[in-house]
Amino acid sequence: MNTDKIANEILYSMKKIEVVKNKYLEFPDGGMTSFDGPGESEVVVSNGRETMRIHEDSKRNLYGYTDKYDKNFRSLDDLAKFLNKNKFKFVGID
């Protein structure tokens, strides 16, 4: 494994999920997503132990759920902090 590849992997692991323009979540891999409203697609994230699906509910609040628990988020910033703290990574859109 060359040193450039190792350096890139270290930098990638240090990057965090960030809120952009108070509307989008930007993931370390460069992917960006937003929540388009109730009944729209869900964002799927995983930390290896559990998978969480996140969407906006009918009151436009962010809501995430796993097999073990449900969680409401006050804002995108609150969601990003939770995802970073628990080492969640973007999986896709469902």
pLDDT at 70: 95
Domain that residue 33 falls in: 3-93
Average pLDDT over the chain, rounded to an integer: 85
The residue written with tokens 């992917």 in the block is 31
pLDDT tens-digit map of 48-79: 999 999 999 888 889 999 999 999 999 999 99
**DSSP secondary structure string for all residues of 47-84:** -SS-EEEEEE-TTS-EEEE-SS-EEEESSHHHHHHHHH
Number of domains making up the chain:
1
Structure tokens at 19: 């809120």
